[in-house]
Structure 1
Amino acid sequence: MKFEKSCGAIVYRKTQNQIDLLLIKNRYGGHWSFPKGHVEGAETEMQTALREVKEETGLDISIQDGFRQAVEYFPKPNVRKQVVYFLGEAQSVEFKMQEEEISRIIWTDIRKAYHMVTFKNDKNLILVAGKRLR
């Protein structure tokens, strides 16, 4: 069994009346999710998450203390993948899309985001993040 590890972030911004999440649409799979990517070299989980968010969206984020959620799944036979997510507040709202991997990026209300994400793991992450942010 091969093991893969990625890290990413649930990126948010607070406006006057709501919490928005940043969603990306994967160019190849066509699914809505969060920015993430493989750990490189001796990076820590948090360094990977910060780098991947910056590479995929152009955003700098501030990681919130005490939020680390890991999900595991099997993307293909004999491959177990773990993805560690942090909760990160966007330090700006203007994003710059990495066009090689991503076809769209949007800010959307957290309630809409729940219905837009493709995978059950992502829906669960939104519920946990929402409780933390409220």
Structure 2
Amino acid sequence: MKRDNTVAERKQFAMQYEKSCGAVIYTVQNGTRFYLVEQMQKGHVSLCKGHVEKDETELQTAEREIREETGLDVEFVEGFRKTIAYSPRMDCMKTVVLFLAYAEHTDARAQEEEVRAIQWLPFENAVEALTFDSTREILRQADAFLNG
């Protein structure tokens, strides 16, 4: 006779879903494009992003996270929206939505609770600095998009 799974057994297999939104942030100085990268408190280097809260839209989340983590106000570039999906732990699937955003100035300040340091780097240096291949690929796509 087949028995039903207990609540504890069902929880063990329950997949959690997380969603974060952010942006590839860039500025232009003396004709050179620079990208913002963040060294996180956990040690990895990433793009600015964070978890969706309540009834926020993806763009609202990205804008809030950028302001919280960097203090920057940005202008989003239409037509660029990329996603990354991965599993940060065994029982979880995470989707990250990244937009493209322009910052008029570079005086960003790191949100100390999450971000150790912020750097503005030219494209090649920014690609090298990023920890994960998936974010490197998004940065490449953003740069190609801006290059037309």
TM-score range for the pair, normalised by the shorter chain length: over 0.9
Do the aligned partners of 1:12 and 1:90 also contact (CA within 8 Å) in 2? yes
1:99-122 CA distances to partner (integer Å, 9 max, x unpaired)? 001111010001111111010101
Contact kept, 8 Å, 1:31 with 1:118, in 2: the verdict is yes
The partner residue of 1:109 within 114, 119, 122 is 122
RMSD of aligned residue pairs (Cα, Å): 0.8
Give the paired residue count: 133
Structure 2 CA distance, aligned partners of 1:102 and 1:54?
13
Pair 1:25-2:29 in alignment: no
TM-score by length of 2: 0.87
Alpha-carbon distance in 2 for matches of 1:126, 1:40? 25
4+ residue segments displaced more than 2 Å: none
Question: How far 1:16 moved relative to its partner?
Answer: 2.3
Q: Is the 8 A contact 1:69 1:86 kept in 2?
A: yes
Distance 1:20 1:88 in 2: 12
* Number of the residue aligned with 2:136: 123
1:88 maps onto 2:90 in alignment: no
Please report the TM-score for the alignment, with normalisation by the length of structure 1: 0.96
Give the Cα–Cα distance (whole angstroms) in 1 for the partners of residues 108 and 140 of structure 2.
Answer: 24
Deviations 1:57-104 (A, max 9, x none): 000110000100010000001100000000000132111110001111
Query: Contact 1:60 / 1:92 at 8 angstroms: preserved in 2?
Result: no
Q: Structure 1: 5+ residue runs without aligned partners?
A: none
1:1-12 to 2 correspondences below 5 Å: 1-12=15-26
Unaligned segments of structure 2, at least 5 residues: 1-14
What is the rounded CA distance, in whole Å, between the counterparts of 1:55 and 1:91 in structure 2?
17
Partner of 1:73, secondary structure, is strand
Tell whether 2:53 aligns with 1:40.
Answer: yes
